Copies of this chain bind each other. A is one copy, B any other.
Amino acid sequence: MNGAESLLRTLLANGIELCFMNPGTSEMQFVSALDRVPGMRGVLCLFEGVCSGAADGYARMAGKPAATLLHLGPGLGNSLANFHNARKAYSPVVNIVGEHSTQHLGHDAPLTADIEGFARPVSGWVRTLECAAAMGEATSAAVDAAIGPPGKVATLIVPADYSWSEAGDPALPVQRTAPALPTEQTIREVAALLRSGCPAGLLLGGSALHERGLRAAGRVRAATGVRLFANRNSGRMARGGDIPAGDRIPYFPEAAQALLAGFERLILVESKPPVSFFGYPGLRSTLAAPDCTFDTLSAIGENGSEALEWLASALGAPASPETPAAARPTLPCGEPLTAAAIGRTIGALVPEGVIFSDETVSCNEQIWPHLAGAPAHDHLPVTGGSIGQGLPVALGAALACPGRKVVSLEADGSAMYTLQSLWTMARERLDVTVVILANRRYRILDIEMKRTGAGKVGPQADRMLDLSDPAPDWVKLAEGFGVEAVRAGTADDFIREFGAAMRQTGPRVIEAVLD
């Protein structure tokens, strides 16, 4: 079998059965092999940043990697912003990048570039295949590296001739390592600390924010009164219904520092000590109290959810403490279309099990509280701060969870970076409702302009923040990609259109023009 087949079969042997791709000449053998190797689903994306973001969203929900297939250095270049987010989400991705054939590489052809150099800043593992015979072994090593734990982007660069040459058998499946648990002593020490009455919080990330982890954290809270905090940049968080909720660390440092003031101990569960998103003149970047001591229950990549269950048992916590569900929000009938009105409508109307891909920016704080009143769901935030991930993550999540409704909450500025995602949603008939919050401005930058001391926004600066001349027409853009779309200008419009979207399946865009 040739190299391309050996690679695909090795991926399949490891349960990797989906590949987001935007292939070119150097990857034609992989594309051709899709018809000879049953079981690998190719999903075409019209821009590589869609591939990388979709693989991130898929990994966050499926708990296993997808593959990506990209064309040479520039194709990889286009994927990097969303691989940055995947890296910060600890999402496993097996990233296959085609390279020129080896006999062509010395000639400095137009597309020749330093592919390893492009890959390194976002990849936890990079390798250029050395010969066709190594294809199975190298693919297996890429899978192993991607899975971790913690998950990583593992980039395997494959010269074209190794995909068309004889390559031998695929490799055997990778032996998985279970994520580590704390020692008994750590459990005893953390339990003693929590029983001591010292003002302490649990800062949760990774699997500790999945439903299982949060239910265990809720038991620990019931037994000890410890405060629960959620890392706002962790890849996935369960919420809503009767799932125990913690306080999400606020975006701006002043609010975060106020929330964490007085907590002398923070116990980290798959999270690092919290830091501000940006640095500002005269403000410190750390968010915990200056005299706070950090203890680690589970490091990143370890099994925080099981550690919390163990801790709960050690504390003799109740098996299922009652967690009152937040009230479902009321519909904003007859009101203006504000971000809060949108949040209330969504909180009121989404079905159980919905997945939110949330890339709202300046509107986030007005929407967030109202989603707590929704039935149990998963929330996928921007992990690495690189905008343009919301639509692709929604796409990947929808492919990972075909039975669940996905709601993509987008700012009109952010949605623009990877709007080509809409085409793949249409092609694959994915059940994604995209809500574009159109304020026709990079609104967050009005705030950041003041915060960085840059002063008043003059007419030149204003034009660099303004998206209203011309205002993008998201109904036409969506329809241009084959996705049904409507515009809402009042809360009543939005209630009607969002409700309709919840009752249908398939992709739909609602442009919500904010009041």
Residues A461 and B21 in contact, CB atoms below 8 Å apart: no
The residues of B that contact A58 with a CB separation of less than 8 Å are none
Q: Which A105-119 residues have a C-beta within 8 angstroms of B?
A: 105, 107-111, 113-114, 117-118
The reply to whether A445 and B480 contact each other, CB–CB distance below 8 Å, is no
Tell me the A51-80 residues at the B interface (CB within 8 Å): 72-75, 77-78, 80
Quick one: given A28-B454, A120-B117, A455-B32, are A101 and B279 in contact (CB under 8 Å)? yes
Contact, CB under 8 Å: A416 / B46: yes
Residues from chain B with a CB closer than 8 A to the CB of A449 are 28, 31-32
For A28, list chain B residues within 8 Å (CB).
445, 448-449, 452, 454
Q: Which of A73-130 contact B (CB under 8 A)?
A: 73-75, 77-78, 80-81, 84-85, 88, 100-101, 103-105, 107-111, 113-114, 117-118, 120-122
Hey, what's the 0/1 contact readout for A466-504 against B, CB within 8 Å counting as 1? 110111111111011110000000000000000000000
Query: Residue on B with the closest CB to A42?
Result: B464
CB of A273, distance to nearest CB on chain B (Å): 9
Instruction: Check A257 for interface membership: any CB of B closer than 8 A.
Output: no
User: What are the 5 closest A-B residue pairs judged by CB atoms, nearest first?
Assistant: A104-B279, A35-B458, A470-B482, A74-B386, A77-B80
Q: Hey, which chain B residues are within 8 Å of A4, CB to CB? A: 454
Q: Which one, A135-143, A167-175, A306-314, A420-428, is touching chain B?
A: A420-428
Q: By the criterion CB–CB under 8 Å, are B74 and A464 in contact?
A: no
Contact A384 B34 (CB under 8 A): no
Q: Does A26 contact B (CB under 8 A)?
A: yes
Pick the residue among B104, B413, B444, B454 that contacts A285 (CB under 8 A): B104
Chain B residues with CB under 8 A of A384: 74, 110-111, 113
A272 within 8 A of B: yes
Contacts of A24 in B (CB 8 A): 445, 448
Contact of A383 with B by CB under 8 A: yes
Q: Identify which of A74, A88, A286 gathers the most chain B CB atoms within 10 Å of its CB.
A: A74
Assess whether A32 is in contact with B461, with CB atoms less than 8 Å apart: yes
Provide the residues of chain B in CB contact with A103, threshold 8 Å: 279, 285
Does the CB pair B278–A383 fall under 8 Å?
A: no
> A29 to chain B: which residues have CB within 8 Å?
452-454
CB of A44 closer than 8 Å to a CB of B: yes
A362 to B482, CA, bound (A): 25
Cβ of A77: which chain B residues have Cβ within 8 Å of it?
77, 80-81, 84, 121-122, 386
Residues of B within 8 A of A417 (CB): 46-47, 78, 420
Q: Is the CB of B470 within 8 A of A110?
A: no
CB-CB nearest in chain B for A275: B107
The reply to whether the CB of A457 lies closer than 8 angstroms to some CB of chain B is yes
Identify the closest chain B residue to A481 (Cβ): B472
Say yes or no: is A388 at the interface (Cβ < 8 Å to chain B). Answer: yes
Decide if B74 touches A80 in the complex (CB within 8 Å). yes
Contact A73 B84 (CB under 8 A): yes
Is residue A161 within 8 Å, beta carbon to beta carbon, of the partner chain?
yes
Cβ-defined contact, A448 with B25, below 8 A = yes
Taking A472-B480, A475-B480 as given, write out 6 further A-B residue pairs in contact, using a Cβ cutoff of 8 Å, ordered by the A residue number: A26-B278, A74-B81, A88-B110, A426-B470, A477-B477, A477-B480
Tell me if A299 counts as interface (CB < 8 A to partner B): no
Question: Are A279 and B84 in contact (CB-based, < 8 A)?
Answer: no
Q: Chain B's nearest CB lies how many Å from the CB of A483?
A: 9
